[in-house]
Amino acid sequence: MNAAPTAPIDIETARLAIRALGAGDEERLQRLFIACADHFAALQGQREPAADAAAQELRACEQTWGRQVAMLTRIDTGEDVGAVGWWAGNPGPDRALLGMLMIDPAHRGQGLAREALEAVEVWLAGRGITALRTAFQRRRLPVHAVVRALGFTEMSVREHTLLGLGGAGISLWEKPVG
């Protein structure tokens, strides 16, 4: 398998420290989830994250090979401003599924999501990943513009049908990395 196993991510960009989260980081991630409640509304139709959403996310990362979530922290202030999560090796050994990219509303519009995603893409490419995918409910129209702006292109209807009947309402997107 080309994709690297779950390995701690430790990246610095011009403005961000991107560090893997794990057991013990639940409260920190939950605070960000609460600040980014609109993320849950846009993608899952929930008004706010579940009270144990961060614990569930980190537990899933611990139990799933290749799955990670990292906190985005401003280098200049030490403030947590976002998170990114992915699953390397899914749906194939040279792919990773982007499951989360969120920026605290107080820090949006500064290019932090793009900066973080580009850094993670380079990191993943160094571990054999050649493309990044993401998926969400097709009816979540505002999300389409965001993923398009991040360089993703929508995949074909054929790719959707490979998901079976469940794929009919899913919007699948992919972009090359490296």
Fold of 10-132: Aminopeptidase (3.40.630)
Task: Note the pLDDT of residue 3.
Answer: 37
Residues 78, 88: Cα–Cα separation, whole Å: 28
Q: Is the pLDDT of residue 4 over 50?
A: no
Listed range (85-89, 120-124, 143-147) with the worst mean pLDDT: 143-147
CA atoms lying within 13 Å on the CB side of residue 98: 29
Q: Is the pLDDT of residue 120 over 60?
A: yes
Q: Is the pLDDT of residue 157 over 90?
A: no
Q: Which amino acid is at 170?
A: I
Q: Two tokens at 103?
A: 């920026």
Query: Cα torsion for 60, 67, 154, 17, to the nearest 10°?
Result: 110
The better pLDDT of the pair 139, 151 is held by: 151
Which pLDDT band holds residue 43 (cuts at 50, 70, 90)? Answer: low
Residue with tokens 């973080």: 116
91 upstream amide cis, omega within 30 of 0: yes
Which pLDDT band holds residue 166 (cuts at 50, 70, 90)? Answer: low
- How far CA 142 is from CA of 127, 137, 148, in Å, comes to 32, 11, 10
Q: Is the pLDDT of residue 54 over 60?
A: yes
Give the angle subtended at the CA of 60 by the CAs of 54 and 62, to the nearest 5°. Answer: 105
Which pLDDT band holds residue 138 (cuts at 50, 70, 90)? Answer: low
Q: Two tokens at 32?
A: 């960000």
Residue 5 DSSP label = P
Task: Note the pLDDT of residue 160.
Answer: 62
Residues 131, 104: Cα–Cα separation, whole Å: 26
Q: Is the pLDDT of residue 108 over 70?
A: yes
Q: Two tokens at 29?
A: 């991630």
